[in-house]
Amino acid sequence: MTPTYPTEQCRSCPAQIIWTVTDRGRDMPVDAEPDPAGNVALSVNDKGQIVASVVKPHLAFGRKDLRLSHFVRCKDAAKWRRR
Ligand SMILES: [Zn+2]
């Protein structure tokens, strides 16, 4: 069973996103829907945070549960990065 994660609309575009934290503790939005080109696996840690881990390409092949960082698609990503 695929876990469901809370989604919300991006502040800059109509996309639905999931807020995650990276393994370095930074906030990162990812696209809510899995994508065949995705390389981000989500999991929930013992603090209840949704953690995004980047999966190496040879391990991502054939997986259908991986998502893309929303920074890839969002037109305002450059602005977000600067914050
Ligand atoms: Zn966006």
67 Cα–ligand 1 center, Å:
14
pLDDT band at 23 (very low <50, low <70, confident <90, very high): confident
In the predicted model, is pLDDT for residue 83 greater than 70? no
What are the tens digits of pLDDT across the range 27-41?
999 999 999 999 999
17 Cα–ligand 1 center, Å:
8
pLDDT value, residue 1: 54
35 Cα–ligand 1 center, Å:
16
In the predicted model, is pLDDT for residue 75 greater than 80? no
> Residues 59, 64, 70, 71: what is their CA dihedral angle, to the nearest 10 degrees?
30
In the predicted model, is pLDDT for residue 76 greater than 90? no
Q: Which of 57, 83, 74 lies closest to 17, judged by CA?
A: 74
